[in-house]
């Protein structure tokens, strides 16, 4: 965006064209018609294969177990720290 567009307050008026409005002061374009953005038919559904589903589940399981291991490790370290602190 140009410095001129950043400083413009867009008070010079707008010229309207096909699906857009343009500031007459700085030339900034605002799109007003978004009909062309959406396709007419629904998009095709993508279904992952059996191997991909299995890999996703295995990765999710590994992450869940890693989180559990981290929690257990913190608890063990805390217990050891408390036990050592009580003996000192």
The pLDDT > 90 percentage for the chain reads 35
pTM for the structure as a whole: 0.41
C-alpha 67 chain-centroid distance: 23
What band does 5 get if pLDDT is binned at 50, 70 and 90?
low
Cα–Cα distance, 21 to 23 (Å, whole number): 7
Sign of CA dihedral 62, 68, 69, 71: positive
Question: Residues 61-70: pLDDT tens digits?
Answer: 999 999 999 9
d(CA 67, CA 64) in angstroms, rounded, equals: 5
Mean pLDDT of the chain: 85
pLDDT digits (tens, 9 = 90+) for 21-76: 998 888 888 888 776 666 677 778 889 999 999 999 999 999 999 999 999 999 99
């Amino acid at each position: 965006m140009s410095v001129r567009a950043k400083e413009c307050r867009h008070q010079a008026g707008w010229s309207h064209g096909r699906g857009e409005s343009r500031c007459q002061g700085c030339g900034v374009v605002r799109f007003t018609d978004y009909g062309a953005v959406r396709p007419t038919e629904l998009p095709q559904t993508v279904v992952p294969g059996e191997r991909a589903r299995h890999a996703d589940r295995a990765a999710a399981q590994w992450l869940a177990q890693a989180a559990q291991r981290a929690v257990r490790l913190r608890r063990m370290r805390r217990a050891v720290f408390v036990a050592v602190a009580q003996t000192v």
